[in-house]
């Protein structure tokens, strides 16, 4: 099995861009990744494209050049980008190709996501009576977690304040204004205990990653970043998951726990080795729970860790250094590749004002999405 390296990263800023299409944003992200790798489009041998809204992300070739390569489209909820990355990496690991592209793009309408619940294996009436809302699930999950593990409302606000603060330092972020903890706590309650400024928003953007066989990476870059693990898992019986009208009484861990364990095992790396962390912060409660689900702390320790600033850029466990979903918003297909883009900049020492000090060498990214899918990636210098 071949090792895999990242030799180019590109991003189209996240936010709102008027009539600009998702495909145009995707093409810009790819061109920026090609420039970063010093490659021409015709050197890319294959690609995986991820999107929620775009039927054919492969249409991006119409703007990049019709080279005839295999270009496969994926959608896997909020884990779409992790899926595109995993499949691209696997094709290289198995020796099928040398150089490939993972690209994600999306352009969402304003407000919370909606769809036909039946497509999530929920009952047809589930939306009619007002239950088909991801935000409601996140409110229920963190409310119980706070009850069980002594997490305060102030800590929810600390997470969001930190991510907005990091977003100010990120020129590609959607929300680039710092908010105080009190502004966050007193903003409109949407789903108790989560207020308006504790949630991310669907938005627009694209990101692209170019991968190659590790043994040829130095032909293209002097600082390759190695993808040590990329894993995906779905929910097991007993997990309390989004878009379900019921849950079992018996308890199982969330899918992230299984994806995380598998990634650590594959990489031969433990949570104690990780220098910079990206987790799915759909809301500030999700960031808190995902810290524990990914092995970075015990349940309940977040209260103290956040109070002492451990998850700040200069802290012991820097989390969502680019502002995460809370500051960047979520174009679903691009979100996980945005995480990898940030980790690569951090490990190369190119993250500018938000650079984690001390030459970080190991980066970790996690996605969680409907209807119970998690993706984890581990990268190293």
Partner 1 sequence: MAQIPFAPDVFTWPAEKPQLIGSRCRSCAAVTFPAQDSCPRCGKLEMEQRLLPREGTLWTWTTQEFLPKEPYASGETPETFKPFAVGLVQLGDDVRVEGRLTISKADEIRFGMGLELVIYPFRTDEDGTQVMSYAFAPSEGGN
* Residues at the site binding partner 1, with contacts judged by CB under 8 A: 111-112, 114, 116-117, 123-125, 127-133, 136, 139-141, 143-144, 147, 188-194, 237, 240, 244-249
Would you say 160 or 214 has its CB closer to partner 1?
160
136, burial (CB in 10 Å: exposed 0-12, middle 13-18, buried 19+): middle
Least Å distance between CB 113 and partner 1? Answer: 9
- Quick count: other Cβ atoms within 10 Å of Cβ 61? 21
Cβ proximity to partner 1: between 204 and 283 the closer is 283
Which of 8, 84, 6 lies closest to 46 in space, CA to CA?
84
CB 317 within 8 A of CB 159: no
Taking the complex as a whole, how short is the minimal distance between the CB of residue 273 and partner 1, in angstroms? Answer: 34
Distance separating alpha carbons of residues 206 and 71, to the nearest angstrom? 17
Q: For residues 1 and 129, which CB has a smaller minimum distance to partner 1 in the complex?
A: 129
Minimum distance of partner 1 from residue 122's CB (angstroms): 10
Residue number, 134 or 311, with CB nearest to partner 1: 134
Q: Report residue 20 CA to chain centroid gap.
A: 23
How many Å is the Cα radius of gyration of the chain?
Answer: 19
Question: Is-contact 368 256, C-beta < 8 A?
Answer: yes
Query: Phi first, then psi: what are they for 231, rounded to 5°?
Result: -135, 150
Q: Is 113 exposed, middle or buried (0-12, 13-18, 19+ CB in 10 A)?
A: middle
To partner 1, the closest distance from the beta carbon of 177 in angstroms equals 22
Across-strand partners of 49? Answer: 73, 103
To the nearest whole angstrom, how small is the minimum distance from the Cβ of residue 60 to partner 1? 29
Min CB(255)–partner 1 separation in Å: 14
| Closest to partner 1 by CB, 167 or 329 | 329
- In 95-135, the DSSP E strands lie at 99-107
Are 105 and 331 within 8 A, CB to CB?
yes
Smallest distance from the beta carbon of 205 to partner 1, in angstroms?
Answer: 22
301/318 Cα distance (integer angstroms): 15
- Cβ proximity to partner 1: between 146 and 325 the closer is 146
As a whole number of angstroms, the distance between CA 108 and CA 54 comes to: 10
Going from the C-alpha of 280 to that of each of 41, 318, 366, the distances in angstroms are: 31, 14, 6
Residue closer to partner 1 (CB basis): 94 or 125? 125
Residue 124 or 357 with smaller CB distance to partner 1: 124
Residue closer to partner 1 (CB basis): 18 or 124: 124
Rounded CA-CA distance 199/205 in Å is: 18
Please state the closest distance from residue 107 (CB atom) to partner 1, in A.
18
Least Å distance, CB 254 to partner 1, is 14
User: Smallest distance, Å, CB 123 to partner 1?
Assistant: 5
Who contacts 265 (Cβ-Cβ below 8 Å, separation ≥6)? Answer: none
Residue 149 vs 361, nearer CB to partner 1: 149
Distance of CA 126 to the CA centre of its chain: 27
């Amino acid at each position: 099995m071949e090792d895999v390296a990242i030799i180019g990263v590109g991003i189209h800023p996240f936010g709102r861009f008027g009539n600009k299409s998702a495909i145009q944003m995707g093409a810009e992200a790819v061109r920026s990744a090609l420039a970063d790798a010093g490659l021409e489009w015709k050197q890319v041998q294959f690609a995986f494209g991820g999107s929620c809204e775009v039927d054919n992300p492969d249409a991006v070739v119409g703007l990049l050049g019709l080279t005839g390569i295999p270009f496969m489209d994926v959608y896997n909820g909020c884990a779409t980008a992790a899926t595109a990355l995993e499949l691209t990496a696997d094709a290289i690991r198995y020796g099928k190709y040398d150089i490939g592209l993972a690209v994600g793009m999306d352009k969402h309408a304003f407000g919370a996501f909606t769809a036909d619940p039946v497509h999530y294996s929920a009952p047809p009436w589930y939306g009619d009576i007002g239950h088909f809302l991801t935000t409601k699930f996140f409110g229920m999950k963190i409310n119980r977690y706070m009850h069980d593990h002594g997490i305060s409302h102030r800590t929810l606000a600390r997470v969001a304040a930190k991510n907005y603060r990091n977003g100010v330092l990120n020129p590609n972020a959607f929300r680039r204004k710092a908010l105080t903890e009190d502004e966050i706590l007193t903003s409109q309650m949407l789903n108790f205990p989560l207020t308006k400024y504790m949630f991310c928003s669907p938005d627009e953007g694209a990101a692209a990653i170019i991968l190659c066989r590790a043994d040829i990476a130095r032909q293209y870059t002097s600082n390759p970043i190695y993808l040590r693990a990329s894993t995906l898992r779905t929910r097991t019986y007993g997990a309390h998951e989004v878009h379900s009208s019921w849950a079992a009484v018996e308890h199982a861990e969330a899918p992230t726990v299984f994806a995380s364990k598998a990634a650590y095992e594959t990489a031969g790396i433990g949570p104690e080795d990780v220098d910079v962390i990206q987790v799915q912060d759909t809301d500030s409660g999700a960031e808190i729970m995902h810290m524990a689900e990914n092995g970075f702390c015990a349940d309940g320790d977040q209260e103290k860790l956040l109070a002492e600033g451990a998850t700040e850029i200069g802290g012991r466990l820097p989390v969502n250094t680019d502002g995460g979903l809370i500051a960047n918003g979520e174009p679903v297909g691009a979100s996980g590749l945005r995480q990898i883009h940030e980790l690569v900049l951090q490990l190369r020492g190119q993250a500018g004002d938000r650079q984690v000090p001390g030459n970080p060498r190991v980066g970790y990214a996690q996605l969680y999405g409907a209807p119970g899918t998690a993706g984890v990636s581990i990268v190293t210098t």
